[in-house]
Homo-oligomer: A and B are copies of this chain.
Amino acid sequence: MSETPAAEAKPGTTCAVIDIWEVLGKRWSLLIIKNLRTKETIRFNELKRALSGISSTVLSERLLELEREGLVTKKIYPEVPPRVEYSLTAQAKELEVIIKELAHWVGRWKRPQSVAQTVTKKEEPSSTTAS
C-alpha cells in the first residue's frame, strides 16, 4: 500500500526506474549521451570541448556513473600521451529509443497549461466544469 515498504533511509528508491532516473537526471548526463551518439568513440577532451562549460571533475564523474550503469564503455590506450576513448553500449542505444519517445511526447504536449480549477458546485468531478 505504502510506497516506502523497504529502504526507509532513501524514500526515493522504491522501484528500479527511479534509480536510473536519478543518474540520468543529474546535470550533463543526457547531454553526454547525446554527444556520444554523434560519433562511435570520443576522447575525453574532445567531449569536454563539445560540452563547453563542463569541468573535468564533473565530466569524469558523470562518465564514471554512466559506466557503472553500463551505458558507456571506456577504452584506455597506454600510450605516451594518454588516450582514452568513450562509446555508448548497446544498452544505451536502446535507451536512446525511449528518450526519443520522450522527446516526441514533450513536443506533442508543448503548450501553456492552466493553473487550477475551483469547483463552485458541489457536484461530482465527472462533469467537467470548464466554462
| Partner-B contacts on A (CB < 8 A) | 1-4, 8, 11-12, 14-22, 24-28, 30-31, 34-35, 38, 41, 43, 50-54, 67-70, 73-81, 83, 85, 87, 91, 94-95, 98-99, 101-103, 105-107, 109-111, 113, 115-120, 122, 124-125, 128-131
Could you tell me the distance in whole angstroms from the C-beta of A80 to the nearest C-beta in chain B? Answer: 8
Q: Per a CB cutoff under 8 Å, which of B54, B81, B99, B119 touches A75? A: B119
A3–B51 CB distance below 8 A: yes
Could you tell me the distance in whole angstroms from the C-beta of A48 to the nearest C-beta in chain B? Answer: 12
In the complex, besides A1-B50, A21-B102, A76-B119, 20 extra interface pairs with C-beta distance below 8 angstroms are A1-B38, A11-B28, A11-B51, A12-B31, A15-B103, A16-B103, A16-B106, A18-B31, A19-B106, A20-B102, A21-B24, A21-B30, A43-B128, A67-B113, A78-B120, A85-B125, A87-B125, A94-B105, A98-B102, A98-B105
B102–A17 CB distance below 8 A: yes
Nearest to A91 among chain B residues (CB) is B109
B110–A16 CB distance below 8 A: yes
23 contacts between A and B (CB under 8 A): A1-B38, A1-B50, A2-B52, A3-B52, A11-B53, A11-B54, A12-B28, A12-B30, A14-B34, A17-B102, A19-B106, A22-B25, A67-B116, A68-B113, A70-B113, A74-B116, A75-B125, A76-B119, A80-B131, A85-B125, A91-B109, A94-B105, A101-B101
